[in-house]
Amino acid sequence: MRAVFLACLLFSGSVSAEIIPDKYPESLLYSAPVKVADGVWSAIGQTQYYNYENAGHNNNLSFVIGNEAVLVVNGGSSYLLAKALHDEIKKHTALPVKYVVDENGQSHAALGNGYWKALGAEVIAHTDAADEIESHGLDGLTNLQAILKERSDGTEVVVLDRTFDDQLVLDLGGITAELHYLGAAHSPGDISVLIPERNVVIAGDIAFHERMLPIFPDTDTAAWLETWQQSFTEFAKGKVIVPGHGGPTDFATVDRYTRGYLVFLRGKVGELLEEGGTLEDAYAIDQSSYRHLETFEELAAKNAGRVFEAMEFE
């Protein structure tokens, strides 16, 4: 797990990328929340890496409004970013935020948890995500403080209030939030949130489409595909999908750029291994059909190399 966490820091902080203008300059949020369905909203983060300009908002921060309470999906990368999201929630409802659910243990999912705990919200994540936060949250905080500077003020690592292993159902009053761990995906403790009354799945980082998916040193792509085929497909098909990065879409789109990409890359690497190819050959695999995806230049060759190193031992 530590290798996965350190890869998160590498992908988020040390790779230079073009700075794209903020879409919502009056807020620390990169973009204003968009309505996904009745009572379901998501502030779509920049599909780049953490930087000062996006204030660490490079993932999707979603919220669900019931008749009695609000659920937030992802605590955000900082105290101030969480507050900015709350300011937007208050434009739509005076109901309290009762639950905050982290889609995994990464910094942009969890480091803003302290803001919500101070409001009295219950902060929840999968057991593996909780372990990741406990073990490496301080490293993530140090990394984010260096990038965000004063925009990280007030941010601290806090202990989760509740964890679960397989499934947890939360009642918001008239709307249900079902938290599901469907199996191994791109990082420890990846979960998806189903809102059955709205036919919406807040999928988290199991699903990608606008941004190339990252493969970390400890990511098991074979297990990710197994989770997709045995659990996620039936779970998400026919529903509106809010992925971890990028705007709301449908199952066919995330299937193309998640399962499809993993099958493509593993197939190319498998051919190389059969032919006695090397790691250098893997880096040179032609992935140009995915060049239009954000972060392609930063991730494509690394992804191929990591799949090659893993498949040598499968």
Task: Give percent above pLDDT 90 in the chain.
Answer: 91
pLDDT at residue 3, as a whole number? 40
pLDDT at residue 218, as a whole number? 86
pLDDT range class, residue 170, cuts 50, 70, 90: very high
Neighbours of 10 (CB within 10 A): 17
pLDDT 10s digits, 102-161:
999 999 999 999 999 999 999 999 999 999 999 999 999 999 999 999 999 999 999 999
pLDDT at residue 15, as a whole number? 40
Is the pLDDT at 211 greater than 80? The verdict is yes
Kindly report whether the global pTM for this prediction surpasses the value 0.85: yes
Please give the average per-residue pLDDT across 54-77, as a whole number.
98
Is the pLDDT at 11 greater than 70? The verdict is no
CA distances from 296 to 47, 142, 300 (A): 11, 27, 5
Is the pLDDT at 9 greater than 70? The verdict is no
pLDDT range class, residue 21, cuts 50, 70, 90: confident
pLDDT 10s digits, 228-240:
999 999 999 999 9
pLDDT at residue 189, as a whole number? 97
CA distances from 72 to 103, 109, 303 (A): 10, 11, 31
CA–CA dist 203, 25 (Å, integer): 27
232: left (phi over 0), alpha (psi -120 to 50) or beta: alpha
Please give the average per-residue pLDDT across 192-207, as a whole number.
98
N-to-C CA span, the chain: 19
CA–CA dist 78, 80 (Å, integer): 5
pLDDT at residue 142, as a whole number? 97
- Cβ-in-10-Å burial (0-12, 13-18, 19+) of 231 comes to middle
pLDDT 10s digits, 135-147:
999 999 999 999 9
Q: Can you spell out the DSSP letters for 238-298?
A: TSEEEESSS--B-HHHHIIIIIHHHHHHHHHHHHHHHTT--HHHHHT---GGGTTSBTHHH
- Residue 211 sits at the vertex; the CA angle it makes with 209 and 212, to the nearest 5 degrees, is 95
pLDDT range class, residue 19, cuts 50, 70, 90: low
Please give the average per-residue pLDDT across 12-20, as a whole number.
48
Is the pLDDT at 52 greater than 50? The verdict is yes
Neighbours of 270 (CB within 10 A): 14
pLDDT at residue 18, as a whole number? 57
Q: Which residues share a beta bridge with 194?
A: 178, 201
Edge-to-edge strand list for the sheet holding 97-101: 34-37, 40-43, 61-65, 70-73, 97-101, 122-126, 162-164
Query: Phi/psi of residue 271, each to 5°?
Result: -65, -40
Task: Give percent above pLDDT 70 in the chain.
Answer: 94
pLDDT at residue 99, as a whole number? 99
Contact 217, 7 (CB under 8 A): yes
pLDDT at residue 12, as a whole number? 42
CA distances from 306 to 120, 212, 264, 296 (A): 42, 15, 14, 15
Contact 268, 285 (CB under 8 A): yes
pLDDT 10s digits, 276-310:
999 999 999 999 999 999 999 999 999 999 999 99
